[in-house]
Amino acid sequence: MWHKIAFKYYGEKYLSEVLRVTFYVHVDGWRRNIRFSAAHWVEHAGKCERLHGHDYYVSIKLYGPVSSDGMIIDFSLVKSTLKDIVDKLDHRVLVPERKIVKREGGLVYVKKDAKVIALPEEDVKELPVEVVTAEELAKYIAERFYEILGDEIRKRGIYQIEVLVDEGGGQEACHVKKLFA
* Least confident among 45-49, 52-56, 59-63, 166-170: 45-49
- pLDDT at position 169, please? 76
The verdict on whether 52 is a catalytic residue reads no
- Angle, CA 165 vertex, CA 159 and CA 108 arms, to 5°: 110
The verdict on whether 167 is a catalytic residue reads yes
- pLDDT at position 1, please? 46
Q: Which of 48, 52, 97, 130 is catalytic?
A: 48
- The CATH architecture to which 2-178 belongs is 2-Layer Sandwich (3.30)
Rg, the chain, Cα only: 19
- pLDDT at position 22, please? 80
Q: How far apart are CA 98 and CA 116, in angstroms?
A: 13
* Domain spans in the chain, listed from the N-terminal domain onward: 2-178
- pLDDT at position 148, please? 98
Is pTM beyond 0.85 here? Answer: yes
Closest of 138, 136, 94, 91 to residue 112, by C-alpha: 94
Mean pLDDT (whole number) for 15-20: 54
Cα-Cα-Cα-Cα dihedral sign, residues 140, 97, 108, 40: negative
Q: Which of 3, 43, 91, 121 is catalytic?
A: 91
The verdict on whether 174 is a catalytic residue reads no
- pLDDT at position 13, please? 57
Contact 73, 104 (CB under 8 A): no
Question: Does the pLDDT at position 128 exceed 70?
Answer: yes
